Structures are given as structure tokens and as C-alpha cells.
Amino acid sequence: MGRIPAQTAKQVMIQKFREDERDSLLDEFAKRQGEIVTGVAQRYEGGALVVQVERAEGFMPRSEQIPGEQFQAGDRVRCLILDVRDAGNQVKIVLSRGNPEFIRRLFEAEVPEVSERVIEIKAMSREPDSERSWPSVPSIPRSMPSVPASVFVAAAFETSSTSSVVRRSTSFVGTNPVRSSSPTR
């Protein structure tokens, strides 16, 4: 085999490896759509934040960011895998921190009563152009009143190890509605 056919064979093999890697990323992240992941902020490109998530780069469009929130290169970022797209020769992973599903998943991850289904998030509300979110959380068992469950959730979020992510005000609906009179920021 001559030099030119050998180079051509090498290029074909490299192309095949890249396609297999792209297909592997697409399959892996398509299965994880709707999950919360932690990545590292890389840079901003035209307002979109580029985040390194495991072995792939995802991007968070400005519309999916929380207004006023800024990240520096190297900052850890928790976000929701909103969408995974096949864009020709690369995989586009769309991330979000502004989607109400992000807050719901964050509650499930951080508050044991939500993940154990002692209390359930019925609906989410977010103030436009703000960090504040309000989940509607009635208690599931009738023996457990809504107020203690909601107070616990609010306390858990104030003392959370990811307080920079979950600085959210909460409002709860149940037999005894409670509304935080001074929302935490």
C-alpha cells in the first residue's frame, strides 16, 4: 500500500472514530434529558454560557439563564439538560437554569420529603426577571399538616449546601396556606 492510500485509510478511520464518539454522546445525553447535572463554566459566546459537562460541552442560551446571574470560567454550575440535538457533525446539549423543571428537580434532589413523596410539588411559579420561585406543595398524607412540611422545606433551602443555587422563596398551598412574608434572596 502506498503513502496516499495509507493516509486516506487513516483519515477514514479517524472519521469513523469521531462519528462513533458523537453517536455515543448523543445516546448518553438523550437518555439523561431532564436530569440535573453539574458542570464547569468555560466561557460566554454571544450571551450563551458554554459549560463542560463530563466529556461534552453544553450551552445555556441567555433565555434559559436566570437574569442577573453571571459565572466566571471555572465556576461549578448545576443545570438541567433541557434538550439534546444532533447538529450535523456535533451534538448540541441545551442546558437550563431558568426552566421551572430545574427548580422541581432541585427540590427533589435537595429536600428528602419531596424525593420520598411525603410532600409533592403540584405547580411551580417564577417571577419574571427574578431569581424567586414559588412551588405549590400540599402534604400528601392527611395526617401531616401542610404548614410543618412547608416550614421544613423553606428551612432546608436556607441551609442547603448549594445555597447559591437554591436561594428561592417558597409559597405553599394546602389546608393551611403559608406565604413567606420576606422572601430570601
- Tell whether 185 is covered by a domain: no
Q: What is the pLDDT of residue 80?
A: 94
* Whether pLDDT at 46 is above 70: yes
Interval 172-185 mean pLDDT: 42
- 43 falls in which pLDDT band (50, 70, 90)? very high
CATH number at residue 11: 2.40.50.140
Cβ count near 103 (within 10 Å): 22
Domain count along the chain = 2
* Whether pLDDT at 126 is above 60: yes
* Whether pLDDT at 10 is above 50: yes
Its domain, for residue 91, covers: 3-96
* pLDDT over 90, % of the chain: 32
Burial class of 72 by CB neighbour count within 10 A (0 to 12, 13 to 18, 19+): exposed
Distance CA 176, CA 153 (A): 15
- Tell whether 184 is covered by a domain: no
Name residue, grid cell 420576606. Answer: 182
Q: What is the pLDDT of residue 181?
A: 42
Shared domain check, 107 and 74:
no
Residue 39 near residue 53, CB atoms below 8 Å:
yes
- Tell whether 43 is covered by a domain: yes
Q: What digits encode the pLDDT tens for the residues 131-143? A: 677 777 765 566 6
Q: What is the pLDDT of residue 175?
A: 39
Q: What digits encode the pLDDT tens for the residues 86-122? A: 887 888 999 999 888 888 888 888 877 777 777 777 7
CATH number at residue 133: 3.30.300.20
* Whether pLDDT at 60 is above 90: yes
Residue 28 near residue 37, CB atoms below 8 Å:
no
For the chain, how far is it from start to end, CA to CA, in angstroms?
A: 68
* Whether pLDDT at 12 is above 80: yes
pTM comes to: 0.67
Helix axes 146-158, 100-110, angle to 10 degrees: 90
